[in-house]
A and B are shown apart, each in its own frame.
Chain A
Amino acid sequence: MSPASIDDIEDVDPGLARERTELAWTRTAISFAAVGGALLRSHPAAGVPILALSLLIWELGRRPGKPGTGHARARHLQLITVVVLGVSLTALVITLITGW
């Protein structure tokens, strides 16, 4: 299939971009779930909230973005940033208080 005809498929069905984005959200949610699961045994107080947040991220990814909903998407992405920062802070605290 030539590159031009691939472009044509995108023109006919721009939903492919939407589907790829939903899959990216799913991968992100799985990543958070894996981190939460890994922490569950050694640090359940950190693992359980991260697992719960991964469910929220999975749910956000299933909500399709529509044109003109930029502010809602921005809030979803802000949430991801805040969750990664929260995981970083948790990891930093665990690292600083244990394993010396």
Chain B
Amino acid sequence: MTSAASPTGPAATPRPGKEREPDARFTFANERTFLAWSRTALALVVGGLAVAQLLPPFPGVPGARHIIGIPLILLGAAVAVFSYAEWQANQRALRRDEPLRRSPLPRFLAATIAVIALLAAALALLSAVTSHR
């Protein structure tokens, strides 16, 4: 957990329930984190589109490219929405001088990508088995 206290010194501590403009550096850091997540979301969307459009078809498994590509596109959209919600939550915590909550986004992203990777491996294996029959 990271405290939202100012690194430059003891800024006026707000009373409970009161909000104040946080240190500009924290605001900028929060914004950069949001932008990094947005680029990640965009990369996921483009990756999904590339899988569906550019990969050769999987012999024996019709629609396999779409089964891999569409979840990646949806994951990108979800990351975009969650990252904005997280930016808002972090900004609110900074204004109230509260500790920042731990982000669930990295775990969510890692787990979903792992599932999609396993799915892709299973489809590739299935395609190899069915095309050799």
Contact = CB atoms under 8 A, between A and B. Distances in A.
A88 B91 contact: no
Interface size class of B (residues with CB under 8 A): 35 or more
What DSSP secondary structure best describes chain B's contact surface? helix
Nearest to A7: B7
Contacts of B21: 67-68, 70
Interface in A29-77: 31-32, 35, 38, 42, 65, 67-68, 70, 73-74, 77
B63 A18 contact: no
Given A20-B28, A65-B27, A92 B73 contact: yes
B25 A87 contact: no
Nearest to A46: B49
A42 B52 CA distance: 14
Interface in B31-63: 31-32, 34-36, 38-39, 41-43, 45-46, 48-49, 52-53, 62-63
Interface of A: prevailing SS: helix
B8 interface: yes
Nearest to A73: B31
B129 to A, nearest CB: 22
Interface of A: 7, 10-11, 14, 17-18, 20-21, 24-25, 27-28, 31-32, 35, 38, 42, 65, 67-68, 70, 73-74, 77-78, 80-81, 84-85, 87-89, 91-92, 94-96, 98-100
Closest 9 CB pairs of A and B: A88-B77, A84-B80, A17-B28, A95-B52, A91-B49, A81-B84, A21-B28, A17-B25, A24-B35
